Structure 1
Amino acid sequence: MVATLPPANARVVLGHENGRLIHRGTVAVRGPCAPSHSELLGLGLTEPQARALDCVLAWFGNPFDAVTWDSPSGIDLRWGAWPLSGAPLIAALAHWKQHEPEAFEARLGRLGVDVTLEPVSLHLQGSRGAPPCEGREALALLGEDPKLMASLAQAGRERGAQLAQLEALIAQVLRPLLAASSPDAAEAEAPAGPFTSARALAVLFLTELRFGRRGITKLMAHARERAGQPASGELAGERLAEDLRTAGRVREAAELWRLLSSPELGDPP
């Protein structure tokens, strides 16, 4: 299915997967239509954090304009490079509307979509006599209506919306993750923390992306296994990869090893 949208008759190709509409995306994380490295740094990331995030999104994320679902059952709509779902997705749209209200209105507002940042909420005006809805119900309808789905995908091609995706990702996912992975005052043997290098940060970010809180808990436990020695995020990644291999999850183990061995994440000369 091809949707043609204003302006300039932009085309968005929608497909079907497990009975759900999807858009696989066309705007790669690295490319002329995506934010630059300096723009990543402008969002408040350190150089190692920006390198790590860029690497993880480029290798294991989605295009900025991808719209998919979180599982074969299609419970939560997902949008963008991380990809975002639920409250972070709504926050990204709200950040975009806040920074570029006219662009938001042209893509989504004209179709009855509205968002607020405080509190984070999404509202969808009903069409053809349907009542208005909000929250997760509204998100689900965004993914069920071809025009709304295509317009959300098209929004992901806007630079402002891409930066809003990253802004929401950093605020709602990465900042809490980095705070939780930092050593407390009692861990004086590793004052900088186990996740400070670009490589260790990439391992941390990929673990969050692929496995969520359960994976992070296991990674942190591995980082602190060596009694009397500084915690090591890279060694923790190796041990987590070995756990995955032993459990028969060879693909996920290989993803971690790609990060652990990539020259992209080495210390700069």
Structure 2
Amino acid sequence: MTDVLAVEVREGYDPAFLEVEIPVPAPVDAVSADVAHTVDGGTLVRHVHFSLQMSASRRFALWVGWNIDGGSLKALSRTGQEFVNDPQIAAAGQVGNALYAGNRLDRGHIARRADLLWGSLAEAGRANRDSFLFTNITPQMDDFNQSAQDGVWGRLEDAVFADVEVQDLRVSVFGGPVFAADDRAYRGVRLPREYWKLIAFREAGVLKARAFLLTQALDQLELLDLDEFRVFQVAVAELEARTGLRFPDVLRAADVGALPGLVGEREPLGSPADIRW
């Protein structure tokens, strides 16, 4: 039987979702040469409400971009959903179940499952299934969100809806891992020790962008565990320097709340209330 995922149309991330054109990030320099190709020869992978590009060398997403319609979110169960390979990328080009067997590593969503479950019930159901594709997954410790400063990382999207008059209840998000040459190898896979997220929304007609970094590498220390994380609010330019991605000018201009200085010189976020929206 033909895999339905392979033939259904997937619209992906919508750059005009906020009524301002926000293109996806562009890999630059060495990172541009590391972009994996899809099975049809392209580089952009599209699924319901999210798109991504893969790293050929690391076999995780370089970035994932997704849209959230807070006014039409659906509460759907994850029961019966299985983590599976993405048919748009060769199986050898993505990290699958073998990494996660018999250890504390969780299969962590980059684009949160709950963020994607909007639109009609059928649409939300397809997004629910798509969210479990391994191209949207990275290894995270089993207490990842709890250890990341009392769950700040896991509640970033919730925090913007709680603290900001988000126009039309619409938010666009980019996120992914930060790859470093000295990331620790486990079962032949180098595990990212930093993650990033960039949240864009409109408030009173004004586009705003806020960037965040989840890190354990504050002083170039190599910890044995992956659960000593801290969350920092950073500038979009800092994400560009760490990821090798070029974000669109419109997001850089909207990053008026950026904090100056190096990550190691500022205090981490202790709760969502510390975020400067």
TM-score (norm 1): 0.29
> Hey, which of these two has a bigger chunk of strand by percent?
2
TM-score (norm 2): 0.29
> Hey, which of these two has a bigger chunk of helix by percent?
1
